[in-house]
Amino acid sequence: MSEDQDVSEEGFIVPAPFDSLSPGDCILKSIEGTEFKALRQILVLASQVMADMFGLPQGEAHKVPHEGTPDHLPVIPMQEDAETIHNLLVLLYPTSVPKELGVQAAIKLAKTYDKYLIPKDRLRLSVGLLYNSESTLKTSPIELYRLAWELEMMLEAKIASRYTHKIPFEQLHATLPLKPLEELLNLRRRREEALDSLIAAVEPRSTLCDTHTTNDGKFFRQIAALKEKARQSIQVPYPEKGARASSFFGQRRGYPPTRDGWKSWSRNNRNFCGCFEDCDWDSMSSVLASALQEFPQCI
């Protein structure tokens, strides 16, 4: 730790330019008691709420002596934690944006911006970095989706929506405001309606056997089974990447077998029928890839 850093009793390291040796004319005190020295004019320019706070009379109980000078600095108690206040100051000061802003830290910071009515342009720059991380999107898709809506970052909301397909409706309903929820439900409706375009890739009338095409009941049950397999395969954010028709529609490993091994394979599989016996999986995969390019994946 360098000499120009303060460590609070809670263990938070206060770096320059917010530590006790930095220039400043006020103290922001976190809910845990961590103190940040700040320049009042920067805060006032950023937030009318803060300007009003500084306009209030400062009692003696809210003043501390500035070390080495006779000046006294007003102490502004805040309800935010030390991490949030630090991130807020970094964004308000003419410095770089936080490089490793986590999802929960971003959510708290967005609430703080709303509380103090601070313009969110620099906040959006910092939060936008989260949507470049696939691992973060996979870990916190619904949180990032909601955050993007709250910050009016619709491109990022589209990106995050790709990662919400596996989330149950009950969780979405309990977490999201009405408008973001409606958009996701509309996406799920469009995806269900577009399933037929994926099923068309296997050309069921020509690739299913006579048993399943001459009997309407069996035919539609087979189509329903293919749709269920397709629903499972489109849960990933980008199903078009490396999609193979055989695996996409749930065919077992090594299916279909080569012609030479077909008879022996059929004898060893009780559920064998002639479906897909002579199909061209490579051609189907090409058609499927094209269909997936057009398939609804985001709001």
Residue 5's domain comprises 1-95
- Cβ-in-10-Å burial (0-12, 13-18, 19+) of 14 comes to buried
Domain boundary residue, one of 95, 115, 131: 95
CB-based contacts of 82: which residues, under 8 Å, 6+ apart? Answer: 8, 10, 12, 14, 30, 32, 34, 36
| Residue 221 lies inside a defined structural domain of this protein | yes
- Same domain? For 219 and 131 the reply is no
Domain boundary residue, one of 192, 227, 250: 192
The CA distance from 245 to 255, in Å, is 11
The per-residue pLDDT for 263 is 47
Q: For position 64, which CATH number holds?
A: 3.30.710.10
Given a contact cutoff of 8 angstroms between Cβ atoms, the answer to whether 133 and 156 are in contact is no
List the pLDDT tens digit at each of the 299 positions of the chain.
444 556 555 678 999 999 988 999 999 999 999 999 999 999 999 999 988 888 766 544 344 444 433 457 888 899 999 999 999 999 999 877 777 789 999 999 999 999 999 999 999 999 999 999 999 999 999 999 999 999 999 999 999 999 999 999 999 999 999 999 999 999 999 999 999 999 988 888 778 877 777 788 888 888 888 899 999 999 999 998 888 888 888 765 444 444 444 444 444 555 556 777 777 888 889 999 999 999 999 99
- Same domain? For 43 and 116 the reply is no
- Same domain? For 219 and 246 the reply is yes
The per-residue pLDDT for 10 is 63
The per-residue pLDDT for 265 is 45
The CA distance from 230 to 233, in Å, is 5
Go through 124-154 and write b for each residue having 16 or more CB atoms within 10 A of its CB, e for each that does not: bebbbebbeeeebbeebbbbbbbbbbbbebe
The per-residue pLDDT for 170 is 96
pTM of the model: 0.80
- Same domain? For 129 and 78 the reply is no
The CA distance from 289 to 284, in Å, is 9
- Same domain? For 114 and 187 the reply is yes
The CA distance from 119 to 223, in Å, is 52
| Residue 25 lies inside a defined structural domain of this protein | yes
3-class DSSP state of 116: coil
| Residue 152 lies inside a defined structural domain of this protein | yes
- Same domain? For 68 and 113 the reply is no
The CA distance from 53 to 48, in Å, is 9
Nearest to 251 by CA among 219, 221, 273: 273
| Residue 299 lies inside a defined structural domain of this protein | no
What's the total number of domains in the chain? Answer: 3
Domain boundary residue, one of 66, 95, 124: 95
| Residue 139 lies inside a defined structural domain of this protein | yes
